[in-house]
Amino acid sequence: MRIALLSDVHGNLPAFEAVLADVDSVDVEEIWCLGDLVGYGAQPDGCVELARRRCDVCLAGNHDLVVAGEIDLADFSSSAAAAAQWTRENIGAESLDFLKALRPERDDGVIGLYHASPRDPVWEYVLSTWQADECMDLMSPRVGAVGHSHVALWFRREREGEVEGAPAEGGLEHDLGDGEWLLNPGAVGQPRDGDPRAAWLLLDTEAWSAEWRRIEYPIEEAASAIEAAGLPTVLAQRLYSGQ
């Protein structure tokens, strides 16, 4: 099966629309989202509605959970908490019901899906080989996918037990046929790897291949929506630098 793996939309509707247009340009059978449909951006209802129509699988991220009232605002930074409070006050009832029905992990399929990690599906940022090694110990499937860090990455563990990993630039392709893997598609709505373009991952579970893709989108539209909503300015500014 050819799958589009997405994560961290964060209420950025222009980025989400651009990614889905890129997805539509290739042969994809299903679209799976690893969570955080809402968060720092100012268009939560548009993003949730698009996910409802287009995504075959959708997990809950920590920002979805705080808006749904399952996590305390005190667990977030000041800007993230301000965005979460604004989203709580402005999100529609149908969108909120959709978020409340989501869960942060799903490991009963051909690949393991976790918003953050196999050992902490809500909060852990998997950014190192030692973390990936310990997370792979807990995965039932041979291949897993995580989001949350907003950084496109790959980790591989060989039969000998050695783990390697690195950031994944747009256009990178990997053969996943051997070893154990933990993949991060990067962020749709707020990348933090120095590349402001929206990110997603094309995964083929028959050929066992992965291709990281990046796509330009109208950042100024997303930034203007954030500013018009009265959200912290930094949430708009960081979109231009991918940080």
Whether residue 161 is predicted with pLDDT greater than 90 in this model: the reply is: no
Structural domains of the chain, count: 1
User: Taking the CA atoms of the chain, what radius of gyration do you get in angstroms?
Assistant: 17
CATH for 19:
3.60.21.10
| Structural domain for 17, as ranges | 2-241
Average pLDDT over residues 91-116: 96
Task: Tell me what the pLDDT averaged over the chain comes to.
Answer: 97
Strands 163-167 and 153-157: antiparallel
pLDDT in tens, 119-141: 999 999 999 999 999 999 999 99
Residues 2-30 have pLDDT tens digits of 999 999 999 999 999 999 999 999 989 99
**pTM across the whole model:** 0.96
The C-alpha atoms of residue 39 and residue 35 are separated, in whole angstroms, by 10
Residue 171 to residue 128: CA distance in whole angstroms: 22
CA separation for the pair 242, 235 (Å, rounded): 11
At 159, is the pLDDT very low, low, confident or very high (cuts 50, 70, 90)?
Answer: confident
